[in-house]
Amino acid sequence: MKTFRSTIHIRSIQPRYEATPDLHWFGGNPFVSHLVHALSFLFPPGEAMFVRSVNHFKDKVTDPDLRRAIKAFAGQEHLHSQSHYDFNLWIQTRIPEAHDYCQRIAAGIDRNYARMEKKKPIVNLAVTVALEHITAVMAATFLSRPDMLEKIHPEIRSLFIWHAIEEIEHKSVAFDVYQSVGGTYATRIWGLVVSTLLLVSKTLYYQGKLLQKDGQLSNWRAGLSALRDCFGGGGFFTVLRGRYLDFFRRDFHPSQHDDRDLVETWQGKLSQLTTVKVIGRVEVP
């Protein structure tokens, strides 16, 4: 099957969240905004875990191109972790309890990672491969929806556009490492099922907590509108289902999804939205 890869660029941006007047920055909708906040709480410890799980195997990787791609992947994820940490601090200025939520999430991720690293580190890598698939599919769907992007406050839009571009660029790295160290199909699928369940349950749990603290839990109009945006005809999760399910094919590889046009288009638009510094670049053959 034909494959398509993008060059991996390590970029830095400096969003100014304090310029965002409203915590309900997604078109005034608290349900969607808090769903994304809950997801953002997972990013700093989650992306640090992705890097550790890949680095655990890096000495077994002999392909020099893949070794360079691992470095670029780690460079991108490190900056994503930092930026989402800053974004989460901004959320905490509005909802102080969010500090405790972030701490609890980080402790849980670190505990599970450490336990599995001793017993079966390939499982940590399989979980990373699965979550990298989910983030790449979400990133491509997000960048394919200018109508949704328009609803987002510009400073926050630049954070998610930047992150989405780079998730697409490095979407094959963890998968290639997993294959090169002999990861099996069964463990890969197990990783996706477990990761999806954990991701959905944790995100919805903390979205609910944020809505409650924000006094928005009974805002049923916003809830219905969010449901339409997510699961209606043309909704975000309705659209990404097909790509998500491709992972179950035995011959699946992330580079079978051609997202090069999205990267090209959005890196141009990102430069118009905010100042972008490119601090590293790795060609992926």
Encoding tokens for residue 169?
């660029």
Q: Is 71 exposed, middle or buried (0-12, 13-18, 19+ CB in 10 A)?
A: middle
- Fill in the amino acid letter for 157: R
Provide, rounded to whole angstroms, the least separation between the CB of residue 150 and Fe ion. Answer: 23
Nearer to Fe ion (CB atom), residue 8 or residue 210: 8
- Report the alpha-carbon distance of residue 269 to residue 275 in Å, rounded: 11
- Fill in the amino acid letter for 270: L
Provide, rounded to whole angstroms, the least separation between the CB of residue 165 and Fe ion. Answer: 10
| Interface positions with Fe ion (CB under 5 A) | 47, 77, 80, 132, 167
Provide, rounded to whole angstroms, the least separation between the CB of residue 133 and Fe ion. Answer: 10
Provide, rounded to whole angstroms, the least separation between the CB of residue 160 and Fe ion. Answer: 11
Nearer to Fe ion (CB atom), residue 167 or residue 229: 167
Provide, rounded to whole angstroms, the least separation between the CB of residue 253 and Fe ion. Answer: 16
Nearer to Fe ion (CB atom), residue 34 or residue 80: 80
Nearer to Fe ion (CB atom), residue 152 or residue 165: 165
Cβ count within 10 A of residue 68:
14
Q: Is 130 exposed, middle or buried (0-12, 13-18, 19+ CB in 10 A)?
A: buried
Question: In 3D, which of 30, 25, 24, 36 has the Cα closest to residue 164?
Answer: 36
Nearer to Fe ion (CB atom), residue 31 or residue 160: 160
Nearer to Fe ion (CB atom), residue 30 or residue 75: 75
Residue showing the smallest CB distance to Fe ion in the complex: 80
Provide, rounded to whole angstroms, the least separation between the CB of residue 136 and Fe ion. Answer: 7
Q: Is 167 exposed, middle or buried (0-12, 13-18, 19+ CB in 10 A)?
A: buried
Residue 205's contacts (CB-CB under 8 Å, 6 or more residues apart) are 38
- Strand, coil or helix: what is 56? coil
